[in-house]
Structure 1
Amino acid sequence: MDIPIESSICQIGENRWLIGHDHICELREPSSSNDESIYHWQDPAGRTFQIRYTSSTLATSPTLIPPFYSAGGAAAVWEFAGLIWKVKSWTTGIEHEAQTIGFVKDTFPSIPVPEIICHWTDEKRSFLAMKRAPGETLDYLWGGLTDLERQTIASDLADYVVLMSRNRRDCLESPSGLGVTDAFVRPESWHLPTFRLETIEAREYFRPLEIDDGFVFTHGDLNPQNLLIEKGKITCILDWEFAGFFPRWWINFKARIYAMSLSSYEPPNAWINAMRKELETRGIVLDFDKYEEWMCKRK
């Protein structure tokens, strides 16, 4: 029986944690050897932490640490040792989020993404450790922003979206050429975790919607919880696991879904409306009648 994703990290001593089955994160003592360290970094206080492998039986009973965020058993997020730790369900064929972030960092250096310290996978889970970026989520800050600040954030984000969309492929796929994991795009009868299409297949699959301009790179989940803001500016775009190469109109569709809503502000669709307006002024539109026809066929 698999252990819950929320049990992926536990504390095994002061400044010492077991991550997954065989990785230990710990404060590095000044006199300790670095031979076993596979990653190391400094926290904001200047203390050095490291990760090393372990195959030993624990001498103490582990204490579970509740994550500060959990997504229905599919993902969980913690913060300790100066880093944000993200654990997700994973299987062979799914692109690691760290690979996607690396692709964005190399291809679009002006787009703010998390700074990754380390990442790895085991048989059923992916692990990602990254530095905390400055700012608070747009969802948290929205009520205190001026109309001009809200419009500026939506405009800046739409500019990033257009920049990313200039990178094109001939297939519906992840940056590494694997299938995408966005459940909204695949047939409802599809039971595999990823979905990939060549151009000819895609033209038939998406009809009557058109994909004549190929597939463009997009984030796929620009909800207000995934945008960090400081002083009215975007400081980091989080959660790249749904990113990939999709039809251009897909960007507009994903800007409409319920998950884009604000969680504690009325009206909750204020961010949806702001983003759609900025996208459509940049030519990223969706023929909704054709989209509904495709959705009926997709079922």
Structure 2
Amino acid sequence: MPMAAQRPVNSSIREIDSQTWLIGDRLLLSRSPAASPRCLWGDGCGSFYSISEVTEAPPVLRSLSTPSLELIRLVYDAGDSSAVWAIGNAFLKIKISNQPRTTREHATLAGVKAMKPSFSIPDVLYHGEWDGRQYLILSKVPGLTLADAWPTMDETTKCHYVDRVVGVCKELGELQADRISGLDRNELLDPLLIKRDAEEDFSHENLVKSCMELDMDCSSFIFSHCDLGPGNLIIDNDGSLGIIDWEMAGFVPKDWIRTRFCISGGLDLPGVGDERVDWRRRMQRRLGLEGYTEIADEWMSWWRGE
């Protein structure tokens, strides 16, 4: 289908019947009451889902009905750039591919899984890319987000998870590279390493130029998630940790890890006032005790072009 005729990202799923849907005019999603070799995931309540690719769209399609909306829940909608749906115990992520040379999340997850980390990550159930859009289906990591759990935590528990995530930063940082890039050496998608209103050039050469302008140590680069906000950290009932949303992970200067906690409002907790910055304030202070430096003030002036 020509890109000009594409539907908005948040309208990428259409209904064929009560048990079958079409995703992006190519991917067939089917629901059944019994498991089969074709099923990739379930919902924990007796339903199972499978996917397959089709060569042409069925002739009759309709918008999602009310029953379908209960099964396929839109949980994130960023205008016409990306959207996420919860489908049983999986998530479907669709986003515009406006940066063709950046590392894809499924590639990062494969690399992190090979590292045998001390935390859990989603399994990749499907990935595809066509007509300028990325399609990714991931297993759900069980538990509550840290954002949801934080208000009920006592001080000891909060300190425990700060220490745990600082430990994750150190664990990931054991992996090093000679360039700023994603895990597969493609480009790193980090807009905060580009000046405000500047062209989005995520090449190593451009990003390392930014880092050197900020006097960051660029003698080596360590692996980082780069987006360890409360919504991307999952706490299970047994206290284990899961980490999701790896699309910005890659090799960066060590200085950048603490700096990001200082400057990124995307790492805030929900709420209002000073409580919003509690998580990232604790994280940047704890990282400081572990020898991580930050250049937050310098970054703010640089980013504004002052």
Equivalent residue number for residue 31 of structure 2: 27
> Helix, strand or coil for the counterpart of 1:255?
helix
Distance in 1, matches of 2:171 and 2:277, equals 25
How far 1:208 moved relative to its partner?
A: 4.5
Q: Partner residue of 2:280? A: 272
Matching residue of 1:4: 8
SS of match in other structure, 2:235: strand
Give 2:248's aligned amino acid: F
Give 1:252's aligned amino acid.
R
- 1:227 is matched by which residue type in structure 2? L
Deviations 1:122-155 (A, max 9, x none): 1211111122211111111211111111111111
Bigger proportion of residues as helix: 2
Runs (5+) with no aligned partner, structure 2? none
Determine what percentage of the aligned residue pairs are the same residue: 23
Alpha carbons 2:190, 2:248 under 8 Å: kept: yes
Question: TM-score, normalising length from structure 1?
Answer: 0.87
Residue in structure 2 matched with residue 86 of structure 1 by the alignment: 93
The one-letter code of the counterpart of 2:8 is: P
1:219 partnered with 2:225: yes
Query: In structure 2, which of residues 249, 252, 258 is the aligned counterpart of residue 252 of structure 1?
Result: 258
Q: Assess, with a 3 A threshold, how the Cα gap between structure 1 residues 12 and 215 changes in structure 2: closer, same or farther.
A: same
Corresponding residue for 1:101? Answer: 109
After superposition, what is the alpha-carbon deviation per residue over 1:173-210, rounded to whole angstroms, capped at 9, x for unaligned? 11111111111112445434x512259x8267523413
The residue matched to 2:180 in structure 1 has which SS?
A: coil
Distance 1:233 1:254, change over 3 A: farther
Q: Aligned equivalents of 1:189 and 1:41: distance in 2?
A: 42
Runs of 4+ in 1 over 6 A off after TM superposition: 29-32
Contact 1:203 1:211 in 2 (8 A): no
Shift of the alpha carbon at 1:288?
Answer: 4.0
Write the distance in 2 (CA, Å) between the matches of 1:248 and 1:276: 13
TM superposition shift of 1:52: 1.2
Q: Distance in 2 between matches of 1:54 and 1:206?
A: 48
- State how far apart, in whole Å, the 2-side matches of 1:30 and 1:67 are: 25
Q: Contact conserved, 2:91 with 2:139, CA < 8 A, in 1?
A: yes
TM-score scaled by length of structure 2: 0.85
Q: CA deviation at 1:28?
A: 4.9
Corresponding residue to 1:127 among 119, 123, 135: 135
The partner residue of 1:16 within 7, 13, 20 is: 20
Q: What residue number does 1:197 align with?
A: 204
Q: Please state how far the C-alpha of 1:159 moved relative to its aligned partner.
A: 0.2
Residue in 1 aligned with 2:75? 68
Q: Does 1:145 align with 2:153?
A: yes
CA distance in 1 between partners of 2:298 and 2:27 (Å): 49
Q: Structure 1 residue 47: deviation in Å?
A: 4.1
Give the whole-Å Cα distance in 1 for the aligned partners of 2:78 and 2:241: 24
**2:239 matched residue in structure 1:** 233
Report the RMSD for the aligned CA atoms in angstroms. 2.7
How do residues 169-208 of structure 1 correspond to structure 2 at under 5 angstroms? 169-188=177-196, 190-192=198-200, 195-198=202-205, 202=208, 206-208=212-214
CA distance in 2, matches of 1:296, 1:31: 55
Q: Is the 8 A contact 1:113 1:237 kept in 2?
A: yes
